[in-house]
Structure 1
Amino acid sequence: MTEKHTPKYIHGYLDEEQERLRHQALVIERPIYDYIDFSEYKNLLEIGSGVGAQTEILLRRYPQLQITGVEYEPKQIAKAEKNMQELGYTAPRVQFIQQDAKDLQLSEKYDAAFICWVLEHISDPVQVLHSMKPSLLPGAKVVITEVFNATFYTYPEMPTVKKYWQIYNDYQVEIGGDPQVGARLGDLLEIAGYRDISLRSGGFHLDSRNPDDRNTVITYWKNLMSSGAPALLEAGLIDQKLLLKMQKEMDELKARKDAVFYYRFIQATAFA
């Protein structure tokens, strides 16, 4: 019997990373969820539920939802279950199942599905979209939010930040992911046979008019990039000096009154 190995994941599974995921979800909650409406749905399938960072937002915003989260990594499920219990969420409102999203074997049918920051880590995202389709009721609503990392821009441009971001994204590709997958969501859903596909671009364009929001997002982004450091260091792609210089430049950016931060993600809505 061949042993299954957890696919490489740029952010890793350290305790501090698990907490960062929850903080990240809250920092960027509004740009994602203000444009989502699951109020008419009851039974939602979340693919790649991780530590439950998005799950808790969905449960809070939609009290009628029952959510099944599918996650590959057992350590993430254990943390998600602990997080939900602390928030007072238990079955049947929420449950987590350990399965490979590319080969789902689910007994229930769902009238909605949600994927957020997951397909970027998967070598064949169409396989995931195909795999979940038999578990969706006819007309089920699907919402997917994904990265488009080529859109990242700061003013002024910070040379080490730019270099680090390129290394970070190149490594994502090397381990089988796609840091630009958001741009392909329409095609991926079309190939997988979904209908009524619509796309929107969301994200941040923050400058001196909103310094508090800008600084919050710059800090978040510094932490996001730093979360990839253990993997990049282990792979020999960066050294400690480069990491510290990147972090210093992000702090310098935050300190500038004329700083600009720009980034777009892509959100797709479709129906089974």
Structure 2
Amino acid sequence: MSQNTPSKYIHGYLETEQDRLRNQALVIEKPIYDFIDFSKNKKLLEIGSGVGAQTEILLRKFPNLQITGVEYEIRQIAKAKENMKNLGYEAPQIEFVNQDARELSLSKKYDAAFICWVLEHISDPIRVLQSMKTFLEPQAKVVITEVFNATFYTYPLVPAIMDYWKVYNDYQVNIGGDPDVGARLGDLLEETGYSDISLRSGGFHLDSRNSEDKKTVFTYWKNLMSSGAPLLLEEGLITSAQIKAMQEAMDELSERRDSIFYYRFIQATAFA
């Protein structure tokens, strides 16, 4: 998740963050992958493969795939290789290449492509989609899942949470990202020449009827928000007290019977 044009990556590369990415992928696996089918594909190109959090799920669900993961940050590749080795995956089923996704230089073509939580970090996603298309076979299947952070809502609304969330998202914009890029996926794919584009909205609407899932997702989201705290603190955009207040408020909402968690992401399917 770090194929980013900005010089700064809001989540950072600490080991705790690398572990969070794997845990996050597992928490949100079902709403993403229930609508993905790569069972008829053989060679998949994953853009922004990071620590291999999504790669791991792809290989488990679609063992027919051979995956090439493209990642900009060498520290993420090292962690991804370690994770894959521990899970028993090796070449030729999986390989990682250290490249800028805006300027790909690959030795083969692929019949499928996958991007998840990556374009939000890139100031010029059009270049990524154009570069990727060069290495896709005709009618290759493309699935992209991206954030739409403006949809985040809790009941009750807590200023400590929403104020922090605004600082978090404003900073992502300032370093060249787009926390609402999911809403633009249809236009981005259309502009870069992909066809048969379809969009769906997925995510969470959790209340008293699913209290355990709600607790899990509140904790996951607190950790997601906290992952940006070191950089926001370093930039002087937030204080330690504000971070603590956000975290405590999220914990409190996770325990309240009447609390609500709501968030939507956007998933696009298209063909090269």
**TM-score of Structure 1 vs Structure 2, range by shorter chain:** over 0.9
**Is 2:100 aligned against 1:113?**
no
Q: 1:165: which partner in 2? A: 165
The residue type equivalent to 2:194 in the other structure is: Y
- Which aligned pairs between 1:21-170 and structure 2 lie closer than 5 A? 21-170=21-170
Does the CA-based 8 Å contact 1:6-1:73 persist in structure 2? no
Q: Once the two structures are superposed, what CA deviation does each residue of 1:191-232 show, in whole Å capped at 9, x if it has no partner?
A: 011000000000000000000001100000000000000110
**Is 2:174 aligned against 1:174?**
yes
May I ask how many residue pairs the two structures share in their alignment? 268
Q: 1:10: which partner in 2? A: 10
Identical residues among aligned pairs (%): 73
Q: 2:199: which partner in 1? A: 199
Does the CA-based 8 Å contact 1:113-1:142 persist in structure 2? yes
Q: 1:256: which partner in 2? A: 256
d(CA) in 2 for partners of 1:114 and 1:152? Answer: 24
d(CA) in 1 for partners of 2:6 and 2:74? Answer: 10
The residue type equivalent to 2:34 in the other structure is: D
The residue type equivalent to 1:105 in the other structure is: S
Q: Once the two structures are superposed, what CA deviation does each residue of 1:41-89 show, in whole Å capped at 9, x if it has no partner?
A: 0000000000000000000000100000000000000000000000000
d(CA) in 1 for partners of 2:173 and 2:102? Answer: 18
Does the CA-based 8 Å contact 1:44-1:114 persist in structure 2? yes
d(CA) in 1 for partners of 2:133 and 2:99? Answer: 15
Does the CA-based 8 Å contact 1:233-1:239 persist in structure 2? yes
The residue type equivalent to 2:189 in the other structure is: L
SS in 1 for 2:134: helix
Does the CA-based 8 Å contact 1:200-1:268 persist in structure 2? yes
Q: What displacement does 1:7 show?
A: 2.5
d(CA) in 2 for partners of 1:210 and 1:255? Answer: 12
SS in 1 for 2:39: coil
- Which segments of 5 or more consecutive residues in structure 2 lack a partner in the other structure? none
Runs of 4+ in 1 over 2 A off after TM superposition: none
The residue type equivalent to 1:127 in the other structure is: R
Does the CA-based 8 Å contact 1:21-1:53 persist in structure 2? yes
TM-score, normalised by the number of residues in structure 1 = 0.98
d(CA) in 2 for partners of 1:15 and 1:44? Answer: 27
Q: Once the two structures are superposed, what CA deviation does each residue of 1:215-265 show, in whole Å capped at 9, x if it has no partner?
A: 100000000000000110011000100000000100110111001000000
d(CA) in 2 for partners of 1:66 and 1:190? Answer: 27
d(CA) in 2 for partners of 1:38 and 1:7? Answer: 33
d(CA) in 1 for partners of 2:215 and 2:6? Answer: 35
Q: Once the two structures are superposed, what CA deviation does each residue of 1:137-158 show, in whole Å capped at 9, x if it has no partner?
A: 0000000000000000000001
Q: 2:233: which partner in 1? A: 233
The residue type equivalent to 2:143 in the other structure is: V
Note closer, same or farther for the CA distance 1:166–1:78 as it changes in structure 2 (3 Å cut). same
Q: What displacement does 1:107 show?
A: 1.0
TM-score, normalised by the number of residues in structure 2 = 0.98
The residue type equivalent to 1:245 in the other structure is: A
d(CA) in 1 for partners of 2:39 and 2:178? Answer: 31
Q: What displacement does 1:6 show?
A: 7.3
The residue type equivalent to 2:179 in the other structure is: P
SS in 1 for 2:212: helix
The residue type equivalent to 2:270 in the other structure is: A
SS in 2 for 1:56: helix
Does the CA-based 8 Å contact 1:46-1:68 persist in structure 2? yes
d(CA) in 2 for partners of 1:106 and 1:255? Answer: 49
SS in 2 for 1:209: helix
Q: 2:269: which partner in 1? A: 269
- Which segments of 5 or more consecutive residues in structure 1 lack a partner in the other structure? none
SS in 1 for 2:97: strand
The residue type equivalent to 2:197 in the other structure is: I
